[in-house]
Amino acid sequence: MRIDVLTIFPEYLEPLRAALLGKAVDKGLISVDVHDLREFAHDVHRAVDDSPYGGGPGMVMKPQVWGEALDAVCAPDAEGRLPRLVVPTPAGRPFTQAVARELAAEPWLAFACGRYEGIDQRVVDDAATRMVVDEVSIGDYVLVGGEVAVLVVVEAVARLLPGVLGNPASAEQDSFSDGLLEGPSYTRPELWRGLAVPDVLRSGNHAAIARWRRDQALERTLARRPDLLAALPAEQFDKRDRAV
Ligand code: ADE
């Protein structure tokens, strides 16, 4: 997968080269190019923002700068393809595991990081005439800019790509893959500060362990995220799921 990021703070995206993501880059599973938006600003101050039409606080990022940057970074590749453009914004559609799976199926993603009060809307409208544009929110809170949201989205997407995780079963079994939160996990020692590992996990009875894990996931989801449970279609529940 090819990933391009446009930002006025390229150093903010350094973590994309660390740990798991860095390994995926080294293995050639993803390529990451971070571009400095200011290189597309041509006035003496290299200004990327201006005051909003209609008044109000804050600044809006200028369309000319973004337009030129997207023309350069999102130019058709050798096969004539364009990226899917992801624009993080608190006004976007919620970023979920389902959206992560959708994005993981794309060969090329470009990210446009807005700062201040956002990007002139015409930038998104213009880009949408030639490529798929996804405005996404990583949660109901406001960040200073899109950079941290890009880190979140790229990490969630990259771990779904074949070869990125050491054990692909991890991605299949984690929270949200079956619509439930994952239950608790334990490792050695058996007894720690007076707290014991649940007996069933040491029983060797795989069917009983699977049933216990399913019950824990149901209980935890009911307690913490009843909205997820309510959204699950009836056929996702098996006969032995406790009435919840
Ligand atoms: N930019 C600022 N806040 C954001 C959020 N919650 N999600 C995505 N991008 C953002």
Q: What is the pLDDT of residues 127-174, one digit of tens each?
A: 999 999 999 999 999 999 999 999 999 999 999 999 999 887 777 777
Indicate if ligand 1 lies below 6 Å from the C-beta of 143.
yes
Catalytic residue among 38, 90, 155, 220: 90
Is 90 an annotated catalytic residue? yes
Q: What is the pLDDT of residues 11-26, one digit of tens each?
A: 999 999 888 889 999 9
Q: Is 39 helix (H, G, I), strand (E, B) or coil?
A: helix
Q: How far is the CA of 109 from the centre of ligand 1 (A)?
A: 18
Give the pLDDT of residue 243.
61
Neighbours of 116 (CB within 10 A): 17
Residue 27 and residue 32: Cα distance in Å, rounded? 12
Say yes or no: ipTM exceeds 0.90.
Answer: yes
Residue 59 CB-half CA count within 13 A:
12
- pLDDT confidence of residue 167: 80
- Identify the active-site residue in 174, 178, 215, 241: 174
**Cβ of 60 below 6 Å from ligand 1:** no
Burial bucket for residue 191 (CB in 10 Å: 0-12, 13-18, 19+)? exposed
* Catalytic residue selected from 84, 159, 213, 214: 159
149 within ligand 1 shell (Cβ under 6 A):
yes
The CA 119 to ligand 1 mean position distance, Å, reads 12
Q: Which two tokens stand for residue 68?
A: 């030129």
Beta strands in 103-216 (DSSP E): 108-112, 133-137, 191-192, 195-196
Q: How far is the CA of 101 from the centre of ligand 1 (A)?
A: 20
Q: Apex CA 138: angle with CA 165 and CA 41, to 5°?
A: 100
Angle, alpha carbons 52-63-36 (nearest 5°): 110
